[in-house]
Every structure is written in structure tokens, then in C-alpha cells.
Chain A
Amino acid sequence: MTPLGCSQLRDMAPDVALGLVTGEERAAALAHLEGCAACRAEVASLAGVADELLLIGPEAPAPEGFDRRVLGRLTEVWAAEAPSAARRQRPAHLHRRTRRRPDGRRLAVGAVLSAAAAAVVLVAAVVAIRDDPAAPTEDRADMTTGVGEVVGTATVRSGDPATVAVDVPGWEEAVPAGATYWLAVEMDDGSRTMTHIGTDATWWKVSLEGGADEVASVSVLDGDGWVWCSAKFSS
């Protein structure tokens, strides 16, 4: 496929923002957007307008019991993803204003989260001791799609060996089950290591041959080599 230039991308930017492109066109657009901040901003601005347009969309009464079923499903997700939830960051620019009630459900969720947080701390301590007794350094960057949506986090940790950990919550539901994906780590010298990753997990960790400060970018690619999301690291 011929790489897209900026003028071509600008022409099709509304189509990309609205999700009107074919898979091949989308892959070509994402490949261009990965390395072009100006075009990323163009598509992101149009996508924001497209979202705002939805405010005048239709509404309809949800089926009886809908809210109960949603909350039931959320409760299952909270329980299943508690470790990830304990690590998650709060939404940008938001401050908690809702009152925390000491009722049974709240305490149950809180207990799970607290236990999960403790487990994360413990695991982190074990990894740190095993990887590098001399207090490893850590560098994080958001994993973003071509249109700027943050879908996860990449963490590069120094040590012997240095490691890259990638966390993409919701990954297993965002991609086709069983499809082939790769985790690509590109170093400053242009070399790239590829690690096959499954669709049934949301967290992966790979060891590096080079140093942590030599990592240029971390990407998740599909089986055809197109970038699904990526994170860049400054040298």
C-alpha cells in the first residue's frame, strides 16, 4: 500500500474521524497519523465535533430492568478487574465529589480494591527486588491510538534486564478473539524486537537486550503490521 501524504490524509480526515473508512484506508491513515502530530490534531478535532453532534441524537426509554443489568455487569467487571482498577488513574480534571457510603456493597468493593492494591504493591516489590536491587528507574507513557485516544500505559523499567510492561485495559474486548497481535519495542538505533501477544490478556511484560533509556517507542501491531496503539519515549 502506498503511504499517505498529509494532503491525502487531510482530505479523508472527516471520514477517519467518523469511522467511515474501510479497514485498509484506516490502517493507512493510522500509519500516517502515528508519525504526524499535525494530522493527528486535525483528526482529533473533527472527532471531537462528531462526538458533540451526538448530543442531539435520539433517545428512547431503556428496557425494563436495564439499569439493574448494567450495574450487575459492572459489579462483575469491578470484581474481575480489581487489580487493574487499583492501578488506574482518575479521569483528568475530575475531583471526587460524591459521598462515599459505608454500606455493605461499598465496603465489599473497597475491601477488594484495598486487597488488590496491597497485592500490587507486594508484586511490585518482588519484581523490583528480582530485577534490580539498586532501585530501578521507571518511565511511563500513554499508549494512544492514531486518533489520540488513550487506551493504556507502557512502562519502561531499568534493570538487568530492563523491561517493558504494557497495560491495555479492555483489550480483550476491543480486538477479535484469537487474532494475531505483536508487541513491538523500537530502540533509538532503529532496531525492533517483536513479541507475539494474545487477545486473552490485558497486560504483557518483555525483557530488553538494550537499556531502558534506549527505548524509542512501544507499539501494538496487528497481524498485518498496522499500528493499533503506541507510546513514544524521549531519549
Chain B
Amino acid sequence: MWEVSDEALFAGYASGDPEAAAHFVERFQRRVYGLALAIVRVPVDAEEVAQEAFVRAWRFAASFDARRGSVAAWLLGITRNVALDSVRGRGRRPEPMADPTPEIVVDPLDVASAIERRADARRVADLMRSLPDSQRRALVAVTLWGLSTREVSEMAGIPQGTVKTRVRLALRKLRDEMGAPIP
């Protein structure tokens, strides 16, 4: 009976239905916790961030608009914001858990593997593959890994301005390829 769409499940979660909430948390906890851990890098902090993300998703449920994106994307956006607030609040964080090789901040093979398990990620994954490698890596670093452009610059050994340019070009190209947003 819980093979319902993300949106239907979220409706139950938003209404405060404990049973729907349990299934909602179960469905998304791996992605929420995984993103939180990628950004804050400390498991105990990642759990705090992930918990807070679920609470905020309930508090701000009324602002979710299905025309603008999926429940998963919206929930992960909240998670990223909470994680970045946590990192900024502490002022510093441990070194990234990812490959420390300059400029390679995420293993593309890992992303590809994750994509295979997620139907909702195929479109953006395909578009990401169409980006120049340098732009894709810069964009992944600041979104999925939560790095600042200065951190990416230091890790990759390239000017911060170059990182900013790559990120801006990449995000605009993705937006243009995805089509016009709902006003």
C-alpha cells in the first residue's frame, strides 16, 4: 500500500500522519543522510543535519510546488541548505572524504552508479554528461560536495575566478537545456 508516488507520500507527511511520515523518512533517508554526510563530513553532524532537514520539510511543506520540481529535489535542496549552514556555523570542517586528487572532487563512476538506481535522476544525469568535464567537476564540487569556489580553487590549483566562471556557465547551460521554468 506504500507503493505510492513521492508526492502522494509527501502529502501524508505534510499533514502530520505518523504512518506516512515513517514511510517518507524510510524512502528518503539514504539520500538525505548521504548528501548531509558529503557536505559536513562528520557522521554525528550529518545525522543532526538530516534530522533537521526532515523537520524543516514538514514545517515548510506549504511552500512545496510540484510544478517547480520533484519532492526529492526539494527535500535535498533543504538538506543542502541546512548542511551549508552547519558548516558555516562551525567555520571549518575536515578534509573531503572524496578523492583528494586536485580537481577530482567526486568520482564520476560513483555518480553513474547511483544514477542507475534512480529513475528521477536520469534527465539531469544525461545533461550533466553533456557538460565539459571541467565545468561538470566544478559544479558537482559546489553542489553535491558543498565546497566554496575558494576551496575548489585551492584543491584544483586554478584561479577562483575560473572556478566561478565554470560554475556559472554550467548551471546556465543546464537551465537552458531543461527548458523555461514555471514563472
Question: Which residues on A are within 8 Å of B, measured CB to CB?
Answer: 11, 14-15, 17-20, 41, 44-63, 66-67, 69-71, 73-75, 77-78, 81, 85, 88-101, 105-106, 109, 113, 149-151, 169-170, 173
Contact = CB atoms under 8 A, between A and B. Distances in A.
30 contacts: A14-B172, A15-B164, A15-B167, A18-B143, A51-B73, A51-B76, A52-B73, A52-B124, A53-B144, A54-B77, A55-B73, A57-B76, A57-B143, A58-B38, A60-B33, A62-B30, A66-B47, A71-B22, A78-B58, A85-B16, A88-B62, A91-B62, A92-B66, A96-B11, A96-B15, A97-B8, A98-B11, A150-B62, A151-B60, A173-B56
B11 A97 contact: yes
Interface of B: 1, 4, 7-12, 14-22, 25-26, 29-35, 37-38, 43, 47, 50-52, 54-56, 58-70, 72-74, 76-77, 79-81, 84, 106, 110-111, 114-115, 118, 120-121, 123-125, 128, 139, 142-144, 148-149, 164, 167-168, 171-172, 174-175, 178, 180-181, 183
Contact of A58 (B4, B15, B52, B144): B144
Given A63-B43, A94-B8, 16 more contacts: A46-B171, A52-B178, A58-B38, A58-B110, A58-B144, A71-B22, A71-B25, A88-B61, A93-B67, A96-B15, A97-B12, A98-B9, A98-B19, A98-B20, A106-B19, A113-B16
A62 B171 contact: no
B30 A74 contact: no
Classify the interface of chain A: helix, strand, loop or mixed.
helix
A74 B69 CA distance: 24
A149 B32 CA distance: 20
Nearest to A45: B181
A92 B77 contact: no
Contacts of B59: 77, 81, 169-170
Nearest to A67: B25
Contacts of A100: 17
B21 A59 contact: no
Contacts of B50: 62, 66, 70
A55 B62 contact: no
- Which residue, A18, A57, A69, A149, has most C-beta atoms of chain B within 10 A? A57
B65 to A, nearest CB: 5
Given A58-B114, A71-B25, A93-B66, A66 B175 contact: no
A53 B69 CA distance: 11
Given A45-B175, A170-B56, A55 B37 contact: no
A109 B29 contact: no
Contact of B64 (A63, A75, A91, A169): A91
A20 B148 contact: yes
Contacts of B121: 55-56
A93 B8 contact: no
A113 B79 CA distance: 27
A66 B66 contact: no
B18 A55 contact: no
A151 B67 CA distance: 18
Closest 9 CB pairs of A and B: A98-B12, A59-B34, A54-B76, A51-B77, A45-B181, A60-B34, A150-B63, A55-B121, A94-B11
Contacts of B61: 88, 90-91
Contacts of B4: 97-98
A58 B31 CA distance: 7
A20 B30 contact: no
B114 A56 contact: yes
Nearest to B77: A51
